[in-house]
Structure formats: C-alpha cells, structure tokens
Structure 1
Amino acid sequence: MMNDVIILGAGIVGISTGIHLLRRGRSVTIIDKNDPGRETSFGNAGIIQREGVRPHPFPRDLHTLAQVGLHLSVAARYAPLALPKLAPPLLRYWWESSPEHYRRVVENYAPLIGRSIDAHSDLINAAGPDAEKLIKREGWYLAFRTPEKLQAEAAKAKRDNELFGVGYKVVDHAALSAIEPYVTSKIVGAIHWTDPWTVSDPGALVTAYFELFRAMGGTFIKGAASDLSESAGVWSTKVNGTTVTGKQAVVTLGPWAPDVLEPLGYRLPLFVKRGYHMHYTLEGNATLGHTLLDPEVGYAMAPMARGVRITTGAEFALRDAAPTPVQLAKAEAKAREIFPLGERVDPQPWKGARPCTPDMMPIIGKAPRHNGLYVGIGHAHHGFTLGPATGELLAQAMTGEPTAINIAPFRMERFLH
C-alpha cells in the first residue's frame, strides 16, 4: 500500500506531524523501533515552556567553564572520551552563543516558542479527557538561593516581558511559602513564570496524542526502519523485512536522525545533551504543587503521577554510551536541602538524549537535496514544548500552505556547505 507520507520517529514531533497531515487529508504511517513516546519525549520536566524564548547558550564566563571543566557542576558535565567527536559542534555552539549571534537566535526562536501553548491546546482539545486531565495551567517557579541571582533574573524577566510578552511575577520566600509550604528557607524567592502549562505525565500526554493519531486513521508500525531511499518520486524504507512506501518522507528521529540522514548525504553538526530523571516519595505529609527549577545548582523538581521527578541538566557524552548518572546523585543531595524528598521510586534512573544543534535552533522543513523529504529535529531542551508547533509547521510546508510563522531560520541549509 502506498502512503502519502511515511514518518520515521514516533516521538511528540512525529506524532504531531502525523495528526496535522491527517487533518489535511493525507494518509500517514509512523514507524519507530519503540512504542510511541517512550524515548526523549518521555523524560522531561513536563513543562510547555511558553516563557522559553531564550534557548540554553554555551556558558562563556570563566567561573562556569571552570566548574564544568573540573566536574564540579551539577548543571553540566562531560565525558572526556567523547570530546574528540563533540569538539567541532561544541566549538560552534560556543561561537553561536556570543552576544551578537545569540541576539539573532532569540529573535528567530521567540516566534516558534510563541506557538507552543496554542499548538498544544489544539491537540489537547482534540485528544479529549485523557489529555486534559494531565494539564495544569498555573505556571512554574524559577527558585533562587541568593537575592543577587533573583534580582538579576527579575531584570531579565522584565526585558522578556517587554520584548516578547512573557508573563511573570517575582515572589519572595514568604509568598512562595504560602504556595509551597514545604520549601525551606534556603530559597529566598522565585520568578513565577505564569504563562506555561505543566503536565503530570509527559509520556501519557504523548500517548494521548498518539491515540488521537490512530483514531483519525493513522497507521503505526513498530520496528527499526532502514535504507530510506527515493526512486521515481517514491520514498521507501524497510521495516521487519517489509518495504513501506510513501510519496513523502519525514525524519523526526531526534538523536537517531543521523543514522538515516547521513547515508542520504546530510552530515549535520548534531550532538546530544543526555539527561536523567528519577521519581521520589515525599516525607510525612509534604506536598509539592508546582514545578521548581533550582538554577543556581542545575536541576528541576516536578510533581508527577509517579511522585516528585528530579530531572538533571546536560551531560555532554556520546549518544549510546553507558549511563553515568553522577549528576542525578548530586542533584538529589541539593534538592534535599530545599525540600523533604523521601525514597527513590524507580529501580534505576531513566536516561535520554536531547538532540541539539550548535545554534540552539531546531531544523524544520524540506531537506534541500531531495524532493519530498522533510525533517523536524534538533529541539534540544524544548522538544516536548515545541513538538505540536513543529508538527503543524511541517504539515503546512508539506502541503503547500503558508506556514504559521516564517520557518526560513530553521532550514537545514544553514549547516550544509
């Protein structure tokens, strides 16, 4: 059977793209080696980050670089054996994080983030009660241990409010304690980002989107796709010994995208930031109602269906290297200083890999050297946030519609020579 579109990758980007294509009358098959939404989409802090107009730049101050270099940082660490392979994209990442370059990145990135809530809202409404019950619309808190850091962040929040309409409030410890009474006095105050939504089970939300995709007539094949190729205007890939074909193909494989794109001649400077999470019980009668991020240390703490989830910062390592959850242990110790965590719930830490580009912006749109091939990858820390918006933009581009925002800044060509 000939599909209109085959999508490689059943994370939140692939599923969202499939839904938007089905709405436009296309027949769609999604292919993935794992169950939908079980990889990068699964392990995150569960925030739809409308406030996230500024992607994470490479640190340029000597103190932070020294902390990372000496493995003293909780927010970031590196695997020394991975450095030879990671050095070229990381050097460009550092270059793109210069003030002049970063300013342009933010200008291009902000409209994409601006689509995040509306795009998720659209799919949540379509997916129904199973999706809606997972959503909380009360924002989240960037919690500080020192007044100087809080004041500096408040100044940045004020600028982002003026430039991009990002909603926020500054709360002192007393105000925060009225909302989260079990947070200790080590936290002096917080920025309350009021626009974002939070999700009590990110994996379950992706599953709800997948059930919507399937109810609309989409097809899913579980298996590792190989040998993606085009002949006479038809794209084909082999899955479990069977050839699956489509008039168009979309690669939304996140950190596994190079395995498919490089044989087609697209060698992109992608790298991964690995991350870990663990769930915890709470001591006594303690409760946590909102997500807290401890930026002076570098981890997030979020109330989830399985308990309080701690998610780590960035581990610069090879995608498939063995887990090294050092950051999680350090983050857990620091989290216990500000909140009464109980025991670990999961038998072992979850590990995932965030697919990143050196300029901190995803690749969205047509692959330039082939007809009918499209890509949605490289969302770094904002894949969960931007999945539905990226899916909408890809479907619009693939069907010849005007895109909701200008996607030229996200084209693949910026990395090809």
Structure 2
Amino acid sequence: MPAEATMREPERLIALDRYDILDTPAEEAFDRITRLTRRIFDVPMSTITLIDGHRQWFKSRAGIAACETARGPALCNVAIREHRALIVPDTLEDPRFAANAFVVGDPGIRFYAGVPLLTPEGHGIGTLCAMDTRPRSFLDDQIDTLTDLGRIVMSELELRLLAMTDGLTGTLSRRAFREEFSRAFALAHRHRHDLSCIMIDLDHFKSVNDRHGHAIGDVVLAAATAACREELRKSDAFGRMGGEEFAVLLPYTSLPSALRVAEKLRAAIADQRTPTPDGPLQVTASFGVAALDGATTEMDALLQNADAALYAAKHEGRNRCRAADPVETAGPATRRRVLKAGQISFDGGRCAIDCTVRSLSDESASLKIGTTIGLPETFKLLIAADGLSRRCRIVTRAEQMLDVAFV
C-alpha cells in the first residue's frame, strides 16, 4: 500500500465503521444496483464491495459465488485508492494485475471497471464494480453511468445512518439501539438503578441461508424476533446488531431477572417452526446476559460483558443462556470498539494471517479472520497503525471470530 494510503488507513476504517454495514444481510436496495450494473454494461459479474482491515466483503454480488475474499489480491483494493473510476480493459496487459490470483484463477477477471465509494470526507470504503471474463473497452459515458450508480450506493449508505428501524425485523437499527442504550445507561449510572443487557445470536444461521436460501432465512429472522417481542415489555429496547445478532436492553432489571427473561426468549425461539420445502425448520439461539455493576462505567463495557457471555454460551454448546462471570467482565480494561487492520504471526514469524481488530483494550482484543482452522492457541498480534506487537492467547473462538488475551 502506498505511504499516503497507509497513513490514511486508520481514518478510512473509522469512516467505514460509521456505516455499520459489514456482515449485514443482503438487501434489495443494493442487489438492485448490481443487477442493473450487469444489465446496463452487459457484464457477467458485479459487486458492491466493502474493504476492512483484511478482506473485501460483498454487500451485494451478482455472478460471484464467494461472499468475501482476502484483501491483498483484490482489484477493488486498488480502486479504493482512486478518486475516479479504475478502468482496466485487459488485466493481462496491465503489469499490476497480470499475475493476480483473481485474474489467472477463479473468477478469471479480464476486464475490470470499479468506482470508489467515497465518503463525504473523501475516504474510499469500497467500490461498485463491473467485471468480465474477456477484455473489452469502456466508453466515457459508460464511466459516467457507473459513477452515478456508485453515488446511488453511497446515498443508500447515508440513508442507513438516518434509519431508526430494521426493515426486515422491525427491531431498532444498530445506531438507534445504541442511542437508546446511551440514554438508559446514563440514567441508570446516575441514579444507581438496575440495568441489564442481553445479547442474542441465532445458532448456525449461515447453514440456514446456505441450505434453504436467504428468503427462508429472512422468514426465520422475522419469526424469531416476533416471538421475542411477545415476551418483552414496551420499555425494553430491542435492536438488530448484525446479520443474526440482536440485543435487548432491560431497564430496572437485575441480573437474575434478566436471566429469566433470556430463558423465556430462548424457549420462544426454539418453539418456532418455519415451513420449508424440506419440512418444518427449527432454529435455536444462544444468549449472553450482563448487568450494570460498580466496575462498569461505560456503555460499551456492558455490551462487551454480554457479548463475552454469549461467546461462552456458544462455546459450551449453544441453545443456552449464560451470565457474564466476574472474570469475563471488562472492568477497568474496557475494550473500545475499533476497526483496525491487524496481522496474526506464528511459527517464528514464518506464518502470517491478516485480520481485522474489532475491539481492543490494554489486556485483550476481538479479531475477525478468514478462518480459525489451524490457528495455534498462542500467537503474536501486530497492529501497524498503533505500533503494537503483543503475544496473545485465544480465550474463545467461534467461526471467524476470536477473543484473545494479551500475555
């Protein structure tokens, strides 16, 4: 990465994080744009790509099987450093891409046209691109059209910042939930009344989408949240934090009472049956519960404590409720939410894996990686932007997520 881009990378990742778009489900507003891109330019492939610390992740994709790939060889990783469209008529004739893995291997990109998705501050957080398996030209008016489509993508992202409810489930959007949480936390902390938080994650939800399709997955999400809403009070805030991850805020509720609420929610979800062509589908969920205490002085600390309990519930077998243990709570070493590029190094530096640091404190971190398979229990974490190099021990691992403690 050029020196100037390296210097701006921390700010770019902060700008990306503000949109809360990573790892969210497919949405018609974005899928419509990739379909239009394919149709207008008569290309077999189009993606709306967001690039975090270690990968390119596709918010929408048409003609591409993978939902994400490594960032390093991604042509979009070059396009985000541009302030206008990147047009490559023939990748094999361009020395930057002639030996690229996505050119000489699957999906065989020979033509690439990508416009950077630029924030109001000028940060390139991703691209809208059109790709072909054969070389081709791209006229100036076509570049203008692709640029306009890219601006529509950014308009959709900006509108998301203003949205208060999740369109599919009717729960609060992540931003709206955090705003409600902030107000409730301040009141509870000031007046010293009980406040609890529940984190919910549907178990093995990716396999539901893979086997039955996203349409069935959407029905499952809507049914699960509707079942939960029946068990909650009107004063409880219920928000969607990610694809299949939700949070509940319980004012004036102690930890034992919150655990009883969580168990009701767990049973309500498990009792749901979604009709599919293969027969009724049952899903379960895991729950992490945490309550405000004297050591928790920040809102994110309470969320982190509930999240740590959720990871423990999954590690212990899923379909269960778990309260945050004192040893799991953040206390004075609260992890702050971040989005940073990191690298995992092991085997004496001979092996390195790019990762994205999602939260960080002086004592621990949460990491997103491509896969946890084959990763040793201890390794070194490098964060170039912070000049950090720390030995780590894995505390919990779940699919693509790691919680680590510094040793």
TM-score bracket for the superposition, by shorter chain length:
under 0.3
Q: Who wins on radius of gyration, i.e. which is larger?
A: 2
State the TM-score, normalized to the length of structure 1.
0.26
State the TM-score, normalized to the length of structure 2.
0.27
